[in-house]
Structure 1
Amino acid sequence: MTDTTGSRRDFLLAAFVFAVAMVGTTLPTPLYVFYQQTLGFGPTWLTLIFSIYAAGVIAALLVVGSWSDQLGRRPMLAAGLLMGAASAAVFLFAHSIPALLVGRLFSGFSAGIMAGTATVAVIEAAPAIWREHATLMATAANMLGLGLGPLLAGFTAQYLPWPLHLVFWLHLALLALALLAIAACRETAPRPARPRLQVQHPAIPAAVRPWFIPASIGGLAGFSVAGVFTSLVPSLVNQVMGVHNALVVGAAIALFFVASVFGQAVLKWLPAAQHMAAGCGGLCLGMLALGLAIALGLMPLLLLAAVLAGAGQGMVFRAGMAAVARATPPAQKAAVTSALFVVFYFSMSLPVIALGLSIPRFGLSHTGEVFSALVALIALLALASMKRVDAHQQAISTSR
C-alpha cells in the first residue's frame, strides 16, 4: 500500500477498531463490586469469571487465530466486533452468575479474534512514513482500549444513571462506529484462491524462534503482573484503601494501561539491548510498590505501583511484539502473533486463578503481598533467562 491519504486513513481506522474492541474486554472490571453486592458471590466466583474470559481468548486464538491470513483482515475484524456486541448484549440483561460467565466468554472470543488480527492489520496498514512506529501504534491501541474500558465504566457507574447498563449501551454505539470503519478500510492481506481454515497448532517457524522465545519469557513476566494487578485492584481499593468510588477503581486500572503505552514509547530512546532489562526492572519496582501499598494501606503507593508496573509491562510487550513481527514471514504473521498472545493470556490467567483460590483461605492483604513478591521474582527470572538466550544468540553469531 502506497503512502497516500487513503493509507493514513486506513491505518488510523484500524487502530480505532482495535481500541474499541479492547474497551469492551475491561468494561466490567470496576462493576464487579456492584455485581458481588447484587448477586452475592465471592472471590472464587470472580476468579471463575475472569478465567472463562481467558479461556475464551485462548480458544479463539487457537481456533481462528490464523484465519485472517486466509480470509483477510476485514472479515475477522468484523467477527471480533460482533463477538464484543454479543458480550455487551448479554451484560445488559445479566441477572445471574451464569449470565456473567456467558458475557465474559463472548468477550474473550472478541479479544482472541482481535489480538492477532488487529495487531497485524494496524501494522500492515501503516503508510511508509509511519512504518517505523506501526508496532507502537498497534500495541498502544490495544493498551489504551484496555485502559479506557474501566475508566468509562467507573465514571458511568459512579455518576450517571443505570450503573450496570448505560456503559454497555455506549459500547454498542462505539462498536457500530467501528463496523463502519472496517467497511471504509481496504484489505491489507493477500488472500489465497482456496482458503484453508483449520485449527491452529502452536508451531512457530524455526527462523522466528530465536525472537519468539525471549518475547514469550518477557510476556510471562509482564502479563502475570497485568493479571495480578487488574484482578486485585478493585478489592484493594474498596477493602484495604477504604475508597468506595467506582471511578477511582477504574482510574487506577486505567493508569496501569496508560503507563504501559508510555513505557512502549520510551523505548525509542533506549538501546534495543536494554529494552527487556528496563521492562523487567519496572515490573519488579511496581510489584514492590504494590506490596508496600497493601501493607500500609496507602492509595498513592498503589497509583505509583500502577505507573511502574504498567511502564514495565509495556516495555516487555512492545519489545517482544516488534522482534517477532520483524522476523515473521507475511503469510504467517497472524498465526505467529496469535500464538504469542496465547502465551500472554496463559501468563495472565494462571496467577488470577491462584489468587481466587488463595484469598478465601489467607485473606486479601496477605495474599496480595505474597503474590506481589512472587510476580516480582518471575520478572527477575525472566530477565535472567533472556540474558541467557541473548548470550546464546551472540555465541551463534560469533561462530558464524
Structure 2
Amino acid sequence: MPDSRSSAPRNRSVFAFGLLAYAFAAIMVGTTLPTPMYALYAERMHFAVLTTTVIYATYAGGVLFALLVFGRWSDAVGRRPMLLFGVVAALASAVVFLVADSVPQLLVGRVLSGLSAGLFTGTATAAVIEAAPPRWRTRAATVATIANIGGLGSGPLLAGLLVQYVPHPLQLPFLIHIVLAVMAGVAVIVVPETSERCGSIGVQRLSVPAEVRAVFVIAALAAFAGFAVMGLYTAVAPSFLANVVGIDNYAIAGAIACSIFAASAVAQIGATLIPPQRAVAIGCAVLAAGMAVLTVALYFSSLTGLIVAAVVSGAGQGISFSRGLAAVAELTPPERRAEVSSTYFVVAYVAISLPVVSEGLAARVWGLRTAGVAFAIAIGVLAVICLVAILWQESRQARNAELSAIT
C-alpha cells in the first residue's frame, strides 16, 4: 500500500508549484492587456502614435525601478511579501485603467503595471523553481518561462477578443484581470514560503566583471535588438494593422501581438540544448530574417507578412535572449551572477522603451509606414552586427586553440 504520509507532502508540493505558476501567469497577463486598446484610447482621447509609444514605454520605467530597488528584497524578507506587493501593484494598475479618461491616468496605469512585472519577474521565477516537487525540478525553470511568456502572450489575445466582440471594451478586460489578480493573491497566501530568507535589503548593484564583458556586450546587444522588436509589436502592431494594412480588427491585432510571445516561448524551450554562444548567433540570424520580412510586409501592406515577421522575430528574440543570458552566466563568478543578470535585464527593458519612442517620433515626421521600415532595417543591421561579432569571436577562439595545440 502507498504511504499516505509521504504522498501528502508531495501533493502539497505539486499544488503549491501549480498555484505559483498560475499567479505568475495571471499577473503577467495584465502587463500586455492594453495592447489592442491603444488604438481605441487614441481614437477616444485624440492622441497620435507618438503618445501611444510614450504610454507604452512608461511600463519599462516601472519594471526598472522594481528590479533595481526591490530586486534583492525577496531573498531577505521572503518571496510571499514581495509577490503580494506585486499583486497589489497589478490590482492598482487595473483599477486606474478601469476609470482612465486621460493620458496622465494611462501613464500611471502603465507605471504600476511595470512595477508589478518587475516585482514578479525575478521573485516568481525563484518561487516556482523552489516550490517544484523533485520530479519537476529539472523542468521548473521551463515552467516559469512558460508562465511568464504565456501570460504576456495571453494578455493581448484576451483583450483583443473582448474589445472586438464584447460590450464595454475599455472596462471588461480590466474587470476580468482584477478577478485573475485577486485569485493570484489568494494563491500566494495559501502557498508556504519557499525561501530561507537570507541576504540583505538594498539597491541592486549593476556591473559586469572584466572577464565577461566581451561576451556580455554581444549578448546584451542581441537582447536589445530582440526586446526592441517585442516593444514595437506590443505598442505599435495595432497601428500597423489599422493604418498600414487597412484592417480595423482588435482581435487580429491582439493575435499578432500574442504570436511574437508564443514564438519566443517555444524558441526558448527548444534552444536549451544548443550551446549558448552558437544559439545567440542563430537567434541573431533569425531575428535579422524577421526584420527583412517585416520590411517587405510594411512596404506591401501585407497582413500575412506582418504575422510571419512576428513569429520569425519572436523565435529569434527567444533564442538570442535566453541563450545569451546562459552564455553570460557560464562565465560569471557565482557570487556576481545576480548583479550581472540584473544588468542584462536592464539593457533588455531599456530596449522596449527608447527605440519604441523613437519609432513614435519618426512616425510623426515620416509617417508610420516609413518609420516602421526604418526601424526594421536598423534592428536588422544591429542583429547582423551581433552575428558577425559572434562568428569573428568563434573564429579567433578556434585559432587560439590551434596555436595552443601546436605549442
Q: TM-score, normalised by structure 2?
A: 0.89
The code of the aligned residue for 1:229 comes to Y
1: distance between equivalents of 2:349 and 2:293? 24
| SS of residue paired to 2:353 | helix
Q: How does 1:342-381 map to 2 (within 5 A)?
A: 342-381=346-385
Is 2:24 aligned against 1:23?
no
Deviation, 1:390, is 5.5
- Residues 112, 302 of structure 1: alpha-carbon distance in 2 compared, 3 angstrom cutoff: same
Structure 1 partner of 2:47: 41
Of 330, 340, 343, 2:344 maps to: 340
Deviation, 1:180, is 1.5
Task: Output one character per residue of 1:59-99: Cα deviation in whole Å (capped at 9) or x when no partner.
Answer: 11111111112112121111111111100000011011111
Q: Is the 8 A contact 1:62 1:339 kept in 2?
A: no
- Residues 69, 363 of structure 1: alpha-carbon distance in 2 compared, 3 angstrom cutoff: same
Structure 2 partner of 1:161: 167
Of 311, 316, 319, 2:315 maps to: 311
1: distance between equivalents of 2:230 and 2:154? 15
Instruction: Could you tell me which runs of 5 or more consecutive residues in structure 1 were left unpaired when the two chains were aligned.
Output: none
Instruction: Could you tell me which runs of 5 or more consecutive residues in structure 2 were left unpaired when the two chains were aligned.
Output: 1-6
| SS of residue paired to 1:4 | helix
Of 97, 101, 106, 1:100 maps to: 106
2: distance between equivalents of 1:393 and 1:183? 51
2: distance between equivalents of 1:396 and 1:13? 50
Is 2:285 aligned against 1:288?
no
Structure 2 partner of 1:145: 151
Deviation, 1:287, is 0.9
Q: Give me the identity figure in percent.
A: 43
Structure 2 partner of 1:72: 78
2: distance between equivalents of 1:51 and 1:69? 29
Task: Output one character per residue of 1:183-221: Cα deviation in whole Å (capped at 9) or x when no partner.
Answer: 2323232213xx632222213567876875554233112
Task: Output one character per residue of 1:278-331: Cα deviation in whole Å (capped at 9) or x when no partner.
Answer: 211221111111111100111011111111011111112221344556777888
The code of the aligned residue for 2:67 comes to L
Structure 1 partner of 2:4: none
Structure 2 partner of 1:189: 195
- Residues 73, 390 of structure 1: alpha-carbon distance in 2 compared, 3 angstrom cutoff: farther
Bigger mean CA offset, 60-69 vs 129-138: 129-138
Point out the structure with max Rg over C-alpha: 2
- Residues 61, 296 of structure 1: alpha-carbon distance in 2 compared, 3 angstrom cutoff: same
Structure 2 partner of 1:223: 227
The code of the aligned residue for 1:232 comes to V
Task: Output one character per residue of 1:350-382: Cα deviation in whole Å (capped at 9) or x when no partner.
Answer: 210111111010001111111101111111122
> What RMSD in Å do the two structures reach over aligned CA positions?
2.7
1: distance between equivalents of 2:396 and 2:120? 34
Bigger mean CA offset, 260-269 vs 372-381: 260-269
The code of the aligned residue for 1:144 comes to G
Deviation, 1:342, is 1.3
- Residues 125, 215 of structure 1: alpha-carbon distance in 2 compared, 3 angstrom cutoff: farther
Structure 2 partner of 1:124: 130
Of 223, 244, 248, 1:244 maps to: 248
Structure 2 partner of 1:267: 271
The code of the aligned residue for 1:282 comes to V
Deviation, 1:176, is 0.9
Bigger mean CA offset, 86-95 vs 380-389: 380-389
